[in-house]
Amino acid sequence: MSRRRAPGTGPGLKDHRLVRWFIGAVLIGGYLRLIKATSKVVSEPPDYWQRVRADWPVIAVSWHGQSNLAYACIPDTRNLALLVSNHPDGRMAAAMARSFGYQTIDGSGASERQGHGTGGLTAFRNMLRALRSGTTLFATADIPPVPGRHVSPGMIALARRSGRPVWAIATASSRRRVLEHVWDRMQVNYPFSTIAFVAEGPVAMTDPAVSDEAYAAELKVLLDRALERAFAIADAGRR
């Protein structure tokens, strides 16, 4: 005898695998391509990609709320992997990433509200394995749902363990809306913009005399400064 689900219970529409793929790869990925195709990208420094290639593989990090636009602006996604969570939103992000040619690593760090089921330990091992095989890693520095713009200890541990240099990445579009009430201050970008792509680095985080907290504070400064600079460049482009 079958049972009917009570109203408001059970999986939602976006929990279906094909729906997640469509939203991520087609809708989100297609919208990011539209923004990129109709906008001018200004990079600082202009030779950042050559500099990153010289240090390959690296660990590239950005703040969570404005990372999607950066994924669309990377000139070459070969040998580049994104860390994506097992949350339904993360599954859509994974579909978007793969539509751009990125590899994906499943898992996320633990937070104050979610300490189990994140796949963090397995993800950490897979990130190390990817870096050691010559694949650059792109990840967000902060973990939901705690207030954003705080560096995850896992990023520092990864930099220490792998020995790979860290780059701080920020992007901004001249036509945008920042959702200040959302935990990560998500940036909604619009087409026909000037896009600023700012990269700061490389920074080595392997000195045993420096604490994890000090390295996290240093990386936060770099990320905040890169984002402030990206906003300034993008805004100058619309004048």
Domain assignment of residue 141, yes or no:
yes
Domain-located, residue 6: no
For the residues 91-108, what does the mean pLDDT come to? 90
Averaged pLDDT of the chain: 88
pLDDT score of 36: 96
* Mean pLDDT calculated for residue range 26-34: 96
pLDDT for position 88: 74
For residue 205, pLDDT over 90 is answered with yes
How many separate domains does the chain show? 1
Query: Which residues constitute the domain of residue 227?
Result: 15-236
Of the pLDDT bands very low, low, confident and very high (cuts 50, 70, 90), residue 85 is confident
| CATH number assigned to the domain comprising residue 195 | 3.40.1130
Which residues neighbour 63 within 8 Å (Cβ) at sequence distance 6 or greater?
140, 141, 142, 148, 149, 170, 184, 185, 223, 227
Confirm whether 102 is domain-assigned.
Answer: yes
**Is the pLDDT at 38 greater than 90, yes or no?**
yes
